[in-house]
């Protein structure tokens, strides 16, 4: 795993967009998934893990009840467990899925959206999803090869595996895949979203990345440059108003946008002198 600390906005762009050239098609098409996190020290724990206790035993109950009660809502879904799982994650149910994006800019947004975390370094994870294919069980590799893809869609995965228990038993070795959800709403589309899902709900993705020869970059965004990154993203229209369409996203964006810098820094308990936004020299 490569760990690099970004020096400024320009250096961060350089790190995130590096190695995007695809010689075989003569286009800039990066083979990476990105995940932005406010705190660089945080492990890649799923929302299911954060429940605590015997969380792995709760997964089936959470999903069963979500499917039972969600029928009262107009969800455009099929009976595929993978459809239900991605929809449940999308609506905040604790699952073994982790959120990722194909967009470096959107990952930067999630690493810098929480002003209360501006006293700590953020991070963007950059993982080569092509490399992940090598570690998949034969059935899943064959399914991707038949579809001529590198990342699963709900339909490709459902054709190969119909149940979570079956998925978990495909290999004695733990593995994970990247899964694209269906474009059920503008939020998924605008966030250029995909998910990772491990074959064992107890195993974190960063632990698997440490064990495998998968190209992985941990790009640290120091607290000192978070204001610069945040302001430039806002100017580029990478905001809650776009990524969470609707009045809730609009309100979140306006609240953050109009929060005075001093107030944000002081409320985080950080040193106002060291972390206040600086004018360029």
**Quick check: is 187 in a domain?**
yes
Domain for residue 116, yes or no? Answer: yes
Cα separation values, 55 from 15, 78, 94, 195, 279, Å: 36, 26, 10, 19, 47
CA torsion angle for 19, 193, 151, 67 (degrees, to 10)? 160
Mind listing the pLDDT tens digit for each residue in 63-104? 999 988 887 555 555 678 999 999 999 999 999 999 999 999
Residue 261: band (very low, low, confident or very high) from pLDDT cuts 50, 70, 90: confident
Candidates 206, 212, 173; CA nearest to 35 is: 206
C-alpha neighbours within 13 Å on the C-beta side of residue 193: 22
The pLDDT value recorded for residue 82 is: 94
For the segment 120-133, what is each residue's pLDDT rounded down to a tens digit?
999 999 999 999 99
Q: Is residue 119 part of a domain?
A: yes
Q: Is residue 151 part of a domain?
A: yes
Number of domains, the chain: 1
- In this predicted model, what pLDDT tens digit does every residue of 130-175 receive, in sequence order? 999 999 999 999 999 999 999 999 999 999 999 999 999 999 999 9
Q: Could you tell me if residue 271 is inside a domain?
A: no
Give 267's pLDDT tier (boundaries 50, 70, 90).
Answer: low
Q: Is 276 part of any domain?
A: no
Scan for tokens 């064959």, then name that residue: 142
pLDDT of amino acid 278:
62
Is 59 within a domain? yes
274 pLDDT band (50/70/90 cuts)? very low
- The answer to whether position 32 is within a domain reads yes
Per the rule left: phi > 0, alpha: psi between -120 and 50, beta: everything else, 252 is: alpha
- pTM of the predicted model over 0.75: yes
Q: What percent of the chain has pLDDT over 90?
A: 83
What is the extent of the structural domain holding 181?
2-260
């Amino acid at each position: 795993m490569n760990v690099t600390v970004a020096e400024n906005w320009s250096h961060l762009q350089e790190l995130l967009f590096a190695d995007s050239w695809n010689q075989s098609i003569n286009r800039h098409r990066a083979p990476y998934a990105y995940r932005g996190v406010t705190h660089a020290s945080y492990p890649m724990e799923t929302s299911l893990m954060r429940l605590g206790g015997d969380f792995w035993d709760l997964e089936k109950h959470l999903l069963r009840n979500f499917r039972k009660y969600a029928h009262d809502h107009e969800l455009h879904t099929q009976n595929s467990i993978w459809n239900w799982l991605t929809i449940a994650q999308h609506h905040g149910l604790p699952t073994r899925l982790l959120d990722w994006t194909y967009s470096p800019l959107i990952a930067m947004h999630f690493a810098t959206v929480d002003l209360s975390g501006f006293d700590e370094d953020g991070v963007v994870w950059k993982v080569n999803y092509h490399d992940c294919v090598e570690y998949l069980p034969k059935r899943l590799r064959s399914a991707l090869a038949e579809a001529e893809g590198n990342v699963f869609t709900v339909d490709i995965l459902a054709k190969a595996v119909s149940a979570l228990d079956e998925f978990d038993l495909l290999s004695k070795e733990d593995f994970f895949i990247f899964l694209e959800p269906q474009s059920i709403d503008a939020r998924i589309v605008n966030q250029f979203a995909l998910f990772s899902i491990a074959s064992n709900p107890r195993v974190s993705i960063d632990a698997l990345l440490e064990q495998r020869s998968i190209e992985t970059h941990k790009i640290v965004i120091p607290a000192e440059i978070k204001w610069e990154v945040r302001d430039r993203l806002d100017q580029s229209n990478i905001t809650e108003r776009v990524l969470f369409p609707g009045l809730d996203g609009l309100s979140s964006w306006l609240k953050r946008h109009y929060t005075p810098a001093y107030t944000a820094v002081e409320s985080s308990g950080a040193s106002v002198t060291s972390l206040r936004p600086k004018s360029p020299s």
